[in-house]
A and B are shown apart, each in its own frame.
Chain A
Amino acid sequence: MPEIIIREAIAQGLREALDEDDRVFMLGEDIGAYDGAYAVTRGFLKQYGPDRIRDTPISESVIVGAAVGAALAGMRPIVEIMTINFTLLAIDQIVNHAAKLRYMSNGQFTVPMMMRTVTGGGGQLAATHSQSFEGWYASVPGLKVLTPSTPYDALGLLRASRKDLNPIVFAEHSMLYGTRGEVPEEYFEVPLGKAVVRRPGKDVTIIGYSRMAHIAEEAGNRLAEKGVDAEVIDLRSLRPLDTETLVESVKKTNRAVVVEEAWKFGGFSGEIASGIQEEAFDYLDGPVARVNGLDVPAPYNGTLEAATIPTAQRVLDTIEEKFGL
């Protein structure tokens, strides 16, 4: 099976959409002549032309709003907002408009648009450029939120998204674009709202998504060296959330720890922990543990920043402290 990196997988998914559906077009800041801030759309402008690869002014609200309007009129726009930090400038269009129009119009309208954006820290970009807001968006009825961590999932989720008529937030992690993985040549999709068990185990469930899915997996592998058999789950999709897979796992392991890059206070990991406790309380040996980014604005200094982001070691320490494993 060929191996590609996530950047290539996303580019492939976007190319398929552009090739197969003439209603699809892209708009965003520097996606054309510049080739994309993270080089995902490299070569797209030349291949598809300026009508389908639309470089925009730095105007996040009208970028997303224009996609909403075009979607209402039957197009299939794909927006790139350079980073999730900048989506705050468009949050009115995302939360008040894209997420609401189907419901408020009693189903007269659908909003088949995707907003791709880049989440996460770790690049020493300091407090305004290192945040993880996908959990915020996941709290909104009317948005679907996808968080791929592998090339396979990135491509599979992009393909499945094209069949969905609803607004989708597609959060790509800035530190994962070079992550390599196997992607079959034959066609496949990854369904929205379905988690995947990365590593089966029986002693403790470690749950992560996006970059933290890799941290969870690393922690699981290191636990194996200690003779602890961890089950590692990658959520892939925050909304819809696959609570069923989490509950099934916890019924087997009786222990769970959630790893999330975003802040702990009000973080999405709390929603996951709460969901597990509501559905599987009697199976738990103790409270669901949470390993989150520290509740500080991300510092610029590399050593300081690294201290804020969850590591496999912190996951191991937490598991040892909370569960004695």
Chain B
Amino acid sequence: MELAVDIDKNQVADYYRQMLMIRRFEEAAGRLYLQGLVRGFLHLYIGEEAVAVGAIPVLGVQDYVITHYRDHGHALARGVDPKAVMAELCGKSTGASGGKGGSMHIFDVDRHFMGGHAIVGGQLPIATGLALAIKQRGGDGAVMCFFGDGAVNEGEFHESLNLASLWKLPVIFFLENNLYGMGSHVDKTHAAGRDIYTSAEYYKIPAVQIDGMDLLAVREATKEALKKVRSGSGPVFLEAMTYRFRGHSMADPVAYREASEVEEWRVNDPIEQFKSFSLAEGLMSEDELAQIDREVIETIEEVVEFAKNSPEPELDSLWDNVYA
């Protein structure tokens, strides 16, 4: 049978596992939050898994990923140890940032995972600089910079798009348009509403809107974008239309949208969609998928246990990395 997309059984299993891993990880994080083991702000990526998993594995090890504060999904898709991420959420010394960053500030230097940035739009100038460093060195690396629909109204967004385009920097500006900046709908916050990608065209950046609930669509668009970015022609802008099934953060009572809207989007659940695809194409069997489900649940149990049992940071560590 000829598939419309270039994908093999191992990749399908891997993508399914990664998306499910993020889903179960986030559910577990939500439970730990309700138990008081995760504090501060916790923003869950549930519903948006196809974006991170469709996009990030396309990159090479030399490339950089940088993102916003809803960052667990991107970190996991980049291969950051889920134990280190969960321990960070719990503020433990074994956390990705030693308990200094929390949910919104996950970093992993070895995987070129550059954060986890909690000021809306703040990561875009930094992404531009990472891409500038690649260009200064003459390498063929690329930067993938995620941001939400809220960030496009910040000046930093416009400054970054202009400079990256002007200097032909190798960066994919990856908008995750989940329709809401906290509780404000894009129709009420952005003049281009649900077609924000058109604002990139003003800066002469090729821009495409994609179905962010469809992993394969994300993957194909990312491959194309990366090819273009690596060719030296400058940045590319991708707008993935997606949706978070949960609130903005755990503190969000979700008063600003109808439950029916959430149900409509749930029909397009990225994991269920991908599951149906892989079954329909005969790439995976029910048994094989169920096996992955069990393995992911076991892994998450280990992850949670690790985070719970890890030690608190020593009080002395308060002054680590304070230089001035």
Contact = CB atoms under 8 A, between A and B. Distances in A.
Interface residues of B, number: 42
B18 interface: no
Nearest to A68: B126
A132 interface: no
A51 B133 CA distance: 11
A103 B323 CA distance: 9
B109 interface: yes
B126 A107 contact: no
B185 interface: no
Contact of A65 (B105, B124, B136, B323): B124
A142 B324 contact: yes
A57 B136 contact: no
B156 A106 contact: no
A109 B125 contact: no
Contacts of A142: 322-324
A141 B321 CA distance: 10
A86 B101 CA distance: 29
A115 interface: no
Interface string B141-176: 000000000000001100110110011000000000
A72 B107 CA distance: 12
B212 to A, nearest CB: 25
Interface string A140-160: 011110000000000000000
Contact of B156 (A57, A62, A104, A108): A62
Contacts of B131: 69
B129 A103 contact: no
Contacts of A166: 323-324
A103 B98 CA distance: 10
Contacts of B314: none
A73 B105 CA distance: 18
Contacts of A102: 321, 323
Contacts of A67: 129
Contact of A105 (B107, B127, B167, B323): B107
A70 interface: yes
Interface string A81-92: 000000001001
A69 B322 contact: no
B97 A65 contact: no
B130 interface: yes
8 contacts: A62-B156, A65-B126, A66-B128, A69-B129, A74-B133, A96-B122, A103-B320, A142-B322
B77 to A, nearest CB: 19
B274 interface: no
Contacts of B130: 69-70, 72-73
Contact of B324 (A59, A70, A106, A141): A141
A66 B125 contact: yes
Nearest to A109: B109
B122 A92 contact: yes
B84 to A, nearest CB: 11
Interface in B228-274: none
B115 interface: yes
Contacts of A141: 322, 324
A186 to B, nearest CB: 29
B54 to A, nearest CB: 24
B119 interface: yes
Contacts of A240: 324
A61 interface: yes
B114 interface: yes
Contacts of B162: 57, 59, 62
B114 A61 contact: no
B101 A104 contact: yes
B134 interface: yes
A56 B163 CA distance: 8
B166 to A, nearest CB: 7
B115 A101 contact: yes
A251 interface: no
B102 to A, nearest CB: 9
A105 B324 contact: no
A109 B122 contact: no
Output the residue of A61, A106, A144 with the most chain B CB within 10 A: A106
Contact of A75 (B101, B133, B323): B133
B45 interface: no
A71 B320 CA distance: 20
Given A73-B134, A97-B126, A105 B115 contact: yes
Given A66-B129, A69-B132, A104 B114 contact: no
Interface string B309-324: 0000000000011111
Contacts of B98: 106
Contact of B64 (A73, A93, A105, A144): A73
A68 to B, nearest CB: 5
B320 A106 contact: yes
A107 B322 contact: no
Interface in B250-303: none
Contacts of A263: none
B163 A57 contact: yes
B219 interface: no
A44 interface: no
A140 to B, nearest CB: 9
A25 interface: yes
A21 to B, nearest CB: 12
Interface in B33-76: 64, 66
Contact of A51 (B64, B114, B136, B321): B136
Contact of B125 (A64, A77, A143): A64
